[in-house]
């Protein structure tokens, strides 16, 4: 049985579409009655069964082609098309995540063990990149809070730090003398942000297993923050009482703060953040739309920042 497929071959060219759809309907039906696990493995394009989430936006989806071909993933190249072209080299199975720091249950957890017992949800989130473009993506994942509760943060823990894979042999962007960022890529959240129900760990999109260029096999999704906060290909989660370093703040702290909340009132020093352009809606000539505070999720998350000056603490 063919499990994976070359990135330049359409699925319809490997298996007739009607056969594929009948197989997928069978798998989804079997999962619904408990005959299959909620997570169907880490093979490319494996169908994922997920319940619909009440957190989803009803906005028009960005096409799967755009979502999987226009990416920031510097480990595979700085051009937006480079990750889709180069990420096929990444090995995603087996995969484990090291949990350490102020956790009651530190260990190296196999991804399959992390996913045992979780309920996957399809969450349609709008995602905003700092350069002024946005997408609407149907993620498949589960609340980060579910995992954090299982690993039992200690009372003194205030932050969650994340680390991406460092594997130059498979990540061409990590090779060479001049590097755009320090590796491995690192990010972090306050514990209250990490525990918020909007924050998820994603394992798929568009009902299929997460493509490599989108952060396979496990990535963070924080929809009210700029996209670089949603760290990809996670291999380490650390509970800590100190604010962790983040890659873009290490690169230029005057341009990239720790919170990185979507805020139209705080411009990047080199461009305005007040407007945005939706990918797939006419390219550079598409009419821009106003950027929404907290990317439109203010009703859910504004209380996290009560009393803070978000122009100074960006």
Q: Is the pLDDT higher at 266 or at 12?
A: 266
pLDDT in tens, 200-256: 999 999 999 999 999 999 999 999 999 999 999 999 999 999 999 999 999 999 899
Closest Cα partner for 208 from 220, 198, 221, 217? 217
Tell me what pLDDT residue 267 has: 86
pLDDT at residue 164, as a whole number:
98
- At residue 271, the pLDDT reads 80
Place of tokens 């957190």: 55
Q: How confident is the model at residue 285 (pLDDT cuts 50, 70, 90)?
A: confident
If one counts every other C-beta atom within 10 angstroms of the C-beta of residue 242, the result is: 10
What pTM was estimated for this model as a whole?
0.85
203 closest CA partner among 120, 296, 131, 266: 120
Give residue-wise pLDDT tens across range 288-306.
899 999 999 999 999 999 9
pLDDT digits (tens, 9 = 90+) for 34-62: 333 333 333 455 789 899 999 999 999 99
pLDDT at position 264 over 90: yes
**Dihedral, 102, 107, 108, 111 alpha carbons, nearest 10:** -90
Residues 272-284: tens digit of each pLDDT: 889 999 998 876 6
How many other CB atoms sit within 10 Å of the CB of residue 268? Answer: 14
pLDDT tens-place string over residues 150-185: 999 999 999 999 999 999 999 999 999 989 999 999
Determine the pLDDT at residue 230. 98
Q: From the options 3.90.420.10, 3.90.79.10, 3.90.1150.10, 3.90.245.10, give the CATH code of 16-305.
A: 3.90.420.10
């Amino acid at each position: 049985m063919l499990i994976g497929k070359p990135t330049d071959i359409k699925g319809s060219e490997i298996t007739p579409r009607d056969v594929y759809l009948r197989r997928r309907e069978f798998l989804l039906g079997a999962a619904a009655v408990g005959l299959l696990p909620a997570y169907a493995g880490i093979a490319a394009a494996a169908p994922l069964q997920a319940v619909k989430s009440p957190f989803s936006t009803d906005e028009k989806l960005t096409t799967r082609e755009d979502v999987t071909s226009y990416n920031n993933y510097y480990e595979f190249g700085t051009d937006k098309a480079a990750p889709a072209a180069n990420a096929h080299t990444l090995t995603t199975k087996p995969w484990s995540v090291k949990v350490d720091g102020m956790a009651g249950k530190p260990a190296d957890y196999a991804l399959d063990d992390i996913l045992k017992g979780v309920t996957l949800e399809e969450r349609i989130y709008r995602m905003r990149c700092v350069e002024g473009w946005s997408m609407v993506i149907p993620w498949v994942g589960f609340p980060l809070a579910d995992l954090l509760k299982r690993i039992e943060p200690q009372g003194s823990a205030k932050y969650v730090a994340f680390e991406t894979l460092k594997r130059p042999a498979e990540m061409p962007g990590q090779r060479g003398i001049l590097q755009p960022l320090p590796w491995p890529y690192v990010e972090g959240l306050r514990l209250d942000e990490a525990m918020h129900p909007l924050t998820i760990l994603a394992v798929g999109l568009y009902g299929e297993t997460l493509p490599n260029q989108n952060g396979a096999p496990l990535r963070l999704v924080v929809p009210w923050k700029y996209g670089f906060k949603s760290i990809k290909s996670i291999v380490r989660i650390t509970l800590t009482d100190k604010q962790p370093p983040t890659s873009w703040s290490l690169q230029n702290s005057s341009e990239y703060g720790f919170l990185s909340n979507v805020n139209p009132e705080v411009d990047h020093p080199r461009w305005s953040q007040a407007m945005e352009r939706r990918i797939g809606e006419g390219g550079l000539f598409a009419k821009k739309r106003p950027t929404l505070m907290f990317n439109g999720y203010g009703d859910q998350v504004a209380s996290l920042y009560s009393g803070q000056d978000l122009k100074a603490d960006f």
